[in-house]
Amino acid sequence: MLFQKIENPFYRKKRSLQLNGKLIWLDEPVVMGILNLTPDSFYEGSRYSMEKEILLRSEEILVSGGLIIDIGAVSTRPGAAEVSEETEMARLLPAVKAIRNHFPEAILSVDTFRSGVVSNIYDEIGGFLVNDISGGTMDGAMFETVAKLGLPYILMHMQGTPQTMQIHPFYVDVVKDILFNLSEKINSLKLMGVNDIIVDPGFGFGKNQRHNYELLNCLDSFRLFELPLLVGVSRKAMIWRLLDSSPTESLNGTTVLNTLALMGGADILRVHDVREAVETIKLVAELKK
């Protein structure tokens, strides 16, 4: 019964997050814009390093209608080289401080699996969303740190690590297995007092193409958590490999899958192309009327 599909559309989903004493409302889907500080991100068009480039990208996200700026300093593409915590901090800290200084009202998300990075960034800029690709598996202190600092937490599912996740990923039932895995972690987080949790199925992270499309087709199963749902499929291999193209040529496919994600109940779209995602949300909202 735990994984029975919910047919009643009037479920009680959490519609807000608390950050720095303010509420972030998710009554309608919102866009999270990607800002990569890595030299080896899988999509070349998303890489930024100089402060001017970082600020211009941040402004572009906000002006285009993005609500959240997601900043990452470690590439998590399949087989990516490992990066030390010192290198990650050296990339992250100047960027988040510059963005916070120039756009003080912007909602920031830090893409990291390290609790030490979370603590150090918090000491410098205050509150932000923690976007942890590992769901707490790569740093045993992450849940405790998020609870202590009172930060919203994006709980993503990943099988393995970025270095191993695409080596023959296996599930008995991909949807049920991930639901069970996330449900245990949600319970642990809530017992620690973490109430602002966002769920991310982790498209492409320890899933093959069949797994990814099965997850997307059953996205409404994640309603059972009654928590905000984040979907990140932007320009990923599940699009360009199927179409025999490349990340650069995957905007159209991304828009199609974002549309399906919204129909399946996504609350946050994590994307490279903010304006196009915002337009997709408006069109789907009109359709749902």
Contact 289, 51 (CB under 8 A): no
Residues 249 and 239: their CA atoms lie apart, in Å, by 10
Q: Write the DSSP string, 106-128.
A: -EEEEE-S-HHHHHHHHHHH---
Sign of dihedral through CA atoms 214, 228, 223, 31? negative
Per annotation, catalytic residue among 176, 241, 270, 288 = 270
Residues 255 and 6: their CA atoms lie apart, in Å, by 26
| Residue 270 is among the residues annotated as catalytic for this protein | yes
> Pick from 225, 233, 247: which is nearest to 205 by CA?
233
Residues 143 and 126: their CA atoms lie apart, in Å, by 18
Strand ranges (E), 117-192: 129-132, 153-156
Classify 137 as helix, strand or coil.
Answer: coil
Contact 275, 254 (CB under 8 A): no
H/E element, 255: helix 251-263
Residues 117 and 235: their CA atoms lie apart, in Å, by 27
Per annotation, catalytic residue among 15, 236, 282, 289 = 236
Strand partners, 131: 111, 154
Active site residues: 236, 270
